[in-house]
Amino acid sequence: MSIVVKPLDKSKRGVCPQEFSFGGTFSDHMFTQDYDPVNGWHNIEITPYHALSLDPSAAVLHYSQEIFEGLKAYRRSDGGVNLFRAEENCKRFNRSAKRMVMPEVDVDLHLDAIKKLVALDHQWVPDQDGASLYIRPTMIATTPKLGLGASANYTHFIITGPAGAYFKGGLSPISVYVADKYRRAVKGGVGEAKTGGNYAASLYASEEVAKQGYSQVLWLDAVEGRFIEEVGAMNICFVYAGKRIVTPELSGSILPGITRDSIIKLAPAIGYEVSEQRLDINTILTDIDSGKITEVFGCGTAAVISPVGTLAFNGTDHVINHNQTGEVAKHLYDELTGIQYGTREDRFGWITSVDL
Ligand SMILES: Cc1ncc(COP(=O)(O)O)c(C=O)c1O
Whether residue 218 has its Cβ less than 6 Å from ligand 1: no
At 190-248, the pLDDT tens digits run: 999 999 999 999 999 999 999 999 999 999 999 999 999 999 999 999 999 999 999 99
Residues 69 and 98 in one domain: yes
Residues 31 and 157 in one domain: yes
DSSP structure class, residue 228: E
Q: Which of 285, 305, 294, 276 is nearest to 240 (CA)?
A: 294
* Residue 353, in any domain of the structure: no
At 67-91, the pLDDT tens digits run: 999 999 999 999 999 999 999 999 9
At 307-330, the pLDDT tens digits run: 999 999 999 999 999 999 999 999
d(CA 9, CA 339): 35
Residues 25 and 141 in one domain: yes
**Phi then psi dihedrals of residue 347, to 5 deg:** -70, -15
Domain that holds residue 152: 4-163
What are the beta bridge partners of residue 219?
A: 230
Q: How many residues does the chain have?
A: 356
Q: Residue 353 pLDDT > 90, yes or no? A: yes
Q: Which of 185, 159, 199 is nearest to 64 (CA)?
A: 199
At 245-283, the pLDDT tens digits run: 999 999 899 999 999 999 999 999 999 999 999 999 999
Contact assessment for residue 73 and residue 16, using Cβ atoms and an 8 Å cutoff: no
Band of pLDDT at residue 19, cut at 50, 70 and 90: confident
* Residue 296, in any domain of the structure: yes
Q: Which of 93, 114, 87, 117 is nearest to 105 (CA)?
A: 93
Query: Which CATH number goes with the domain that contains 9?
Result: 3.30.470.10
Q: Which of 48, 75, 64 is nearest to 138 (CA)?
A: 64
Band of pLDDT at residue 45, cut at 50, 70 and 90: very high
What are the beta bridge partners of residue 161?
A: 134
Residues 18 and 42 in one domain: yes
* Residue 189, in any domain of the structure: yes
**DSSP line for 157-180:** EEEEEEE--SSTTS---EEEEEPS
Would you give the distance in Å from CA 153 to the centre of its chain?
26
Contact assessment for residue 105 and residue 142, using Cβ atoms and an 8 Å cutoff: no
Residues 135 and 267 in one domain: no
Residues 182 and 61 in one domain: no
* Residue 198, in any domain of the structure: yes
d(CA 196, CA 242): 36
Residues 151 and 227 in one domain: no
C-alpha distances in angstroms, 85 versus 92, 104, 262, 340?
11, 19, 9, 9
* Residue 345, in any domain of the structure: no
d(CA 349, CA 273): 21
Contact assessment for residue 238 and residue 245, using Cβ atoms and an 8 Å cutoff: yes
Q: How far is the CA of 199 from the centre of ligand 1 (A)?
A: 11
The residue type at 155: T
pLDDT of residue 60: 98
Whether residue 96 has its Cβ less than 6 Å from ligand 1: no
Q: Residue 108 pLDDT > 80, yes or no? A: yes
Would you give the distance in Å from CA 281 to the centre of its chain?
24
Which residues lie closer than 8 Å to 11 by C-beta, 6 or more apart? none
Contact assessment for residue 150 and residue 141, using Cβ atoms and an 8 Å cutoff: yes
Residues 102 and 156 in one domain: yes
**DSSP line for 278-319:** --BHHHHHHHHHTT-EEEEEEEETTTEEEEEEEEEETTEEEE
End residue of a domain, out of 163, 184, 214: 163
Q: Which of 180, 276, 170 is nearest to 219 (CA)?
A: 180
Band of pLDDT at residue 181, cut at 50, 70 and 90: very high
Query: Which CATH number goes with the domain that contains 250?
Result: 3.20.10.10
Give the containing element (helix H, strand E) for 137: strand 132-141
Whether residue 257 has its Cβ less than 6 Å from ligand 1: yes
Whether residue 235 has its Cβ less than 6 Å from ligand 1: yes
Mean pLDDT of 27-33: 98
d(CA 217, CA 48): 37
For 224, counting Cβ atoms within 10 Å of its Cβ (0-12 exposed, 13-18 middle, 19+ buried), the class is exposed
Band of pLDDT at residue 39, cut at 50, 70 and 90: very high
Band of pLDDT at residue 166, cut at 50, 70 and 90: confident
pLDDT of residue 307: 97
The total of structural domains in the chain comes to 2
Residues 110 and 50 in one domain: yes
Whether residue 258 has its Cβ less than 6 Å from ligand 1: yes
Would you give the distance in Å from CA 78 to the centre of its chain?
26
pLDDT of residue 170: 78
* Residue 60, in any domain of the structure: yes
Closest ligand 1 atom to Cα of 235 = 4
Whether residue 234 has its Cβ less than 6 Å from ligand 1: yes
